[in-house]
A and B are shown apart, each in its own frame.
Chain A
Amino acid sequence: MRVTRRRFLGLVGATGAAGLWWAPGCGDDDSTTQVAHFFTSDERLVVEDMAAALVPEDDLSAGALATDAVELIDRFLAAFDSDPPAIFGGGPYSGRSPFPDPRTGMPTNDYPDNDFTEMLPLTRMQELAFRILLDGDAAVTNGTINTGIVPPNPGLRAIYRDGIAALEQAAQDAGAASFGELDAEARIAAFATTTPDFRGALLQNLAEGMFAAPEYGGNRDRRGWLDYDYDGDSQPLGYTLFDADSEPFDRPDKPNQTADPNRPARPFSPEVERFLTAITAAQGGKRFF
């Protein structure tokens, strides 16, 4: 039995003490600031079609599309079109979690502002690093200082452009009018023909797009956290509350020290269990039951 988003909200609502303080909408990012994007609309479609095959939707949980994971990638690749560059969100709080009451330790209705949307300025060294990462080693002075020892770095933007072109080419070779016409299996076969750099980048960035803080553009409505049993950010409340004498106690809705009744022990699915059996054997470990 898995806690899907709807079930999760139901359970939180049911624990009296929790009240509404974890309800959706509290502190959600409602900023309307202009954000920069990198992909053309055609490119974006290809990436989304690829992402949908890699991490599909199903009845139980959102995939790459419903979490809007590609939006995070699109923004990251255009990071330098904003000032400060859209790379490191601010801190310390997102506004999703309230301040505790200093006397009782219990959550208040006082939510901090969302600092995550205030991007931090980069240092000289950070700027150089992310320029190379995104635009390639030729984009900055001294970027190619180790050429001949390390392979040239074309930068993520070029890696994405080339990877997308390769996916479209693979679709054409398969006789399809567009990449989106391929079924999931054929899209994954096309993915396998792209470069390791593209594959590695897209997979890593999709993981980020599904599970990073929503302020970066992905993890829409926190589906990446809610559908996959993850609390996300919790400051300034945290999980240990303090009474008037500063004695610590657990939050009633999300215990730290004990098992969480909303996240009970459960057997692994047969597929996962087979995998665990195999790596345990390969590493010379033990299966206990």
Chain B
Amino acid sequence: MSQQNPDLIIENLHVNVEGQEILKGINLQANIGEINAIMGPNGSGKSTLAYTIMGHPKYEVAQGRIVFRGEDITKEKPTQRARLGLFLSFQYPTEIPGVTVSNFLRTALNALRPQPVPVPEFLKLLKEKMALLKIDQSFASRYLNEGFSGGEKKRTEILQMAVLQPRMAILDETDSGLDIDSLKIVANGVNELMGPHMGALVITHYQRLLNYIKPDRVHIMMDGRIAMSGGDELVQKLESHGYEWVQKGAGLKV
């Protein structure tokens, strides 16, 4: 395994948004089957990195590249990235009026599978995953994210992940907006789905989530760069020392 190239390789990534450089040379590697946590202060570029990996057209790659499962996807459309197995759980999920959760998920699943999934099989899968995440069945026929509470949106993101079964999920602050019980349910759900065939980049501000979802590695972003990487002891350090400590130690990149 160690001889093989990592599944996700981000190399010297520079990203501009509306003419302003936000990511200033990110290097990051991650494998399917692993959990990588990304932490960092507000505005350090975590969501920008997530959007860029997923291919949002507003985020312009000025330099560097992104390789996933051996394919350079730097210029690919989000569609193609999803089909290769990437998934983004949005920090602020978008409302899609008039499109029901169930209808949408079936379309998406069929877009990812080589063969369309028969309706009864799909409904069974959806029901099962809704039960896993303790989402009321009535949500299946509601319009996607429309009028959902903050926490309901986050849970629905994880429901989508559970149904679509990506290889690598980016969870952008999935924990923020969740109450304590919901956090447990979502974390349990994520853990259940995680395994040798699925990895995650978990973006979070809080130790709370990482107590449930144990990261293999932790990366700390500061001002558009990865300032420090290490094991999960970093989470503890950060909690007690704050980001100033990272800034001071930024020279000592691991």
Q: Do A and B bind each other?
A: no
